[in-house]
Chain A
């Protein structure tokens, strides 16, 4: 187990700079998820951590030791790749044992460690099969087993679940997280799937364009997104946004948009006339006859547990979550209420939270 610290990391490919001055620290035993859209630099950061990509500037420290020029094999890390990267010509046992054989451990020791890992991962019956004879989930577990036997101080995962179907993915999320709880190694996990990030992470690092947008616990990102981008990225269904402006409403400010007027907290640092975007999570909207937001129902989508009501509000698309059993016909008008503390206000120009 070790801490991982990035100090002013930058990365360029030729003349293209894709990352600048990125600083981040991950505590010992922490499960950190690098989250972001494709091309945001999250995989590059992970590969730099593994030593598969050179670091153009800044310092990388693992367990307090500078790693910039250290060979991947000497960093004491383990990595699980998106396509598993198993050795197809070796059986499961040899796949898991490969790194131990290189270390020239005694045969008995290798056997013991492989069998231990296999038992933990429910792979004991498959040790003598080839990777091609395994299902996607089993292959993924072999990849994890390969990482586990090494007693690495940092585990790196590069979108390990994106090749699996939805049900298996949910199951593997649980398994990986449980494994982390058992093993306790510092883990850095890359994904573009916010649900994976929300369900697994101790700490989410949301990235955008090679920079860190927000770092925090999952709840923190969900409840207090620092920007419109962060608000939009986290949560499913995604947050609703209404463009409007701040108006004076007696002593307290208010948010006004086409047909909507919502009171804002007095302490808000916004000036009347300022263009703002109001964000509301679908789950925070409540159907109420006295609600401030009026819309027309387009479609009620059943998810099983509840309903996603798709509405048009002042010409914009809007989604609200309602408990199952609510009967609303498409085409009818509905009113929605929102608690003041559930509103997220962003500057329309900078996108930053107000």
Chain B
């Protein structure tokens, strides 16, 4: 370790905390906004630290009464800002497309990493190139295709397009993880008599868990925050959180409190997902220590 003077260390700590504060403050402000009533949101100077917390925004968004916290009138479900089903839509779409993308990408990446076939390198570049295409360019043609084949406004349709959108990155990312696993391990298993599938399933896949977790997190986040495909390819059947957030902007003003409440709620599933795969994530980062 590099030796540092006390003053140097102090400067480092202060700078670190300042940087953390810059990143965390907007999040804090957004979360507190979700618990403020409409008037307090617009107070000048803003009530950053002290305000009267309310659950009203959440109650409206989820159509439930949190009356056990505070006595007030019960709100009926199905109001303008009732968004609970939309959160469910997001979970189904992001979860489904992540599972799909990771399953396909793992197989594809393993083959690209291990098997020799003609045009392999060209294939990898081509996979990457599909990622360069702006979604806007595809959205309109897709709209017509989806209408014709009946995928419009369906879970399957959105899961499919999100899977396709995530595949290139997932394949390349996983390929690099597989490339890091020494080929001798495959060869050793091959000599031991294992079939390709067995090598993949029993030997290589458990070693790539970390990489798969990291890839899954990325896919989930991309799908969770995707806007343009959901906007163009859905009507009333389903809508995910990013798209539905725009509906808080109404002719009578923007419902900032409700929007913040939905935003905060939308953070939770993603947060839980990342927490669940976190252990594997750390393993993935330390995989190198096993290799020898």
Q: Bound pair: A and B?
A: yes
> Could you tell me which A residues sit within 8 Å of B by CB distance?
50-52, 72-73, 77-79, 81-89, 98-99, 102-103, 131-132, 136, 139, 146, 150, 163
* Contact yes or no, B207 A50, CB < 8 A: no
B182 at the interface (CB under 8 A from A): yes
Q: How far is the CA of A77 from the CA of B193 in the complex (A)?
A: 10
* Contact yes or no, A81 B192, CB < 8 A: no
Return the 6 tightest CB-CB contacts between A and B, nearest first: A99-B192, A85-B184, A88-B290, A89-B206, A85-B188, A73-B193
* Contact yes or no, A83 B184, CB < 8 A: yes
Whether A136 contacts B203 in the complex (CB less than 8 A), given A73-B192, A85-B187, comes out as no
Q: How far is the CA of A132 from the CA of B286 in the complex (A)?
A: 12
* Contact yes or no, A132 B190, CB < 8 A: no
B282 at the interface (CB under 8 A from A): no
B140 at the interface (CB under 8 A from A): no
Number of interface residues of B (CB under 8 A): 19
A142 → chain B, closest Cβ, in Å? 11
* Contact yes or no, A102 B191, CB < 8 A: no
Whether A52 contacts B207 in the complex (CB less than 8 A), given A84-B292, A131-B290, comes out as no
Count, A-B residue pairs, CB within 8 A: 64
B22 → chain A, closest Cβ, in Å? 39
* Contact yes or no, A102 B292, CB < 8 A: no
Q: How far is the CA of A72 from the CA of B207 in the complex (A)?
A: 23
When C-beta atoms are compared, the residue in chain A nearest to B186 turns out to be A85
Which of B192, B194, B203 is the most central at the interface, judged by chain A CB atoms within 10 Å of its CB?
B192
* Contact yes or no, B289 A102, CB < 8 A: no
* Contact yes or no, B292 A136, CB < 8 A: yes
A111 → chain B, closest Cβ, in Å? 18
B118 at the interface (CB under 8 A from A): no
Whether A52 contacts B198 in the complex (CB less than 8 A), given A84-B292, A131-B290, comes out as no
Q: Which residue in A81, A82, A89, A102 is a CB contact (below 8 Å) of B198?
A: A102
* Contact yes or no, B187 A139, CB < 8 A: no
Q: How far is the CA of A139 from the CA of B185 in the complex (A)?
A: 14
Interface string of B124-163 (1 = CB under 8 A from A): 0000000000000000000000000000000000000000
Q: In the complex, which residues of chain B have a beta carbon less than 8 angstroms from the beta carbon of A72?
A: 187, 190-191
* Contact yes or no, B290 A50, CB < 8 A: no
Q: In the complex, which residues of chain B have a beta carbon less than 8 angstroms from the beta carbon of A150?
A: 192
B39 at the interface (CB under 8 A from A): no
Q: How far is the CA of A51 from the CA of B193 in the complex (A)?
A: 12
* Contact yes or no, B182 A83, CB < 8 A: yes
Which of A51, A88, A131 is the most central at the interface, judged by chain B CB atoms within 10 Å of its CB?
A88
Q: In the complex, which residues of chain A have a beta carbon less than 8 angstroms from the beta carbon of B203?
A: 87, 89
* Contact yes or no, B193 A103, CB < 8 A: yes
* Contact yes or no, B207 A89, CB < 8 A: yes
* Contact yes or no, A98 B187, CB < 8 A: no
Q: In the complex, which residues of chain B have a beta carbon less than 8 angstroms from the beta carbon of A87?
A: 185, 188-189, 203, 207
B291 at the interface (CB under 8 A from A): yes
Q: How far is the CA of A327 from the CA of B198 in the complex (A)?
A: 66
B204 → chain A, closest Cβ, in Å? 9
* Contact yes or no, A146 B184, CB < 8 A: no
Since A89-B206, A136-B292 are in contact, a sample of 12 more A-B pairs with Cβ atoms closer than 8 Å, ordered by chain A residue number, is A51-B191, A72-B187, A72-B191, A73-B190, A83-B182, A85-B187, A85-B188, A86-B185, A87-B203, A88-B207, A102-B198, A132-B289
B1 → chain A, closest Cβ, in Å? 25
When C-beta atoms are compared, the residue in chain B nearest to A52 turns out to be B187
B56 → chain A, closest Cβ, in Å? 51
Which of A84, A85, A136 is the most central at the interface, judged by chain B CB atoms within 10 Å of its CB?
A85
Q: Which residue in A51, A82, A84, A102 is a CB contact (below 8 Å) of B192?
A: A102
Q: In the complex, which residues of chain A have a beta carbon less than 8 angstroms from the beta carbon of B290?
A: 88, 131-132
Which residues of chain B in 154-184 are interfacial with respect to chain A, using CB atoms and an 8 Å cutoff?
Answer: 182, 184
Q: How far is the CA of A83 from the CA of B207 in the complex (A)?
A: 16
Q: In the complex, which residues of chain B have a beta carbon less than 8 angstroms from the beta carbon of A102?
A: 192-194, 198
B63 → chain A, closest Cβ, in Å? 46
* Contact yes or no, B188 A79, CB < 8 A: yes
Q: How far is the CA of A79 from the CA of B290 in the complex (A)?
A: 20
Whether A83 contacts B191 in the complex (CB less than 8 A), given A89-B206, A89-B207, comes out as no
A53 → chain B, closest Cβ, in Å? 10
B119 → chain A, closest Cβ, in Å? 15
Q: In the complex, which residues of chain B have a beta carbon less than 8 angstroms from the beta carbon of A89?
A: 203, 206-207
Whether A83 contacts B292 in the complex (CB less than 8 A), given A89-B206, A89-B207, comes out as yes
Q: How far is the CA of A139 from the CA of B292 in the complex (A)?
A: 9
19 contacts between A and B (CB under 8 A): A50-B191, A52-B187, A73-B191, A73-B192, A73-B193, A78-B191, A81-B187, A81-B188, A83-B184, A83-B292, A87-B185, A87-B188, A88-B290, A89-B203, A102-B192, A102-B198, A103-B193, A136-B292, A150-B192
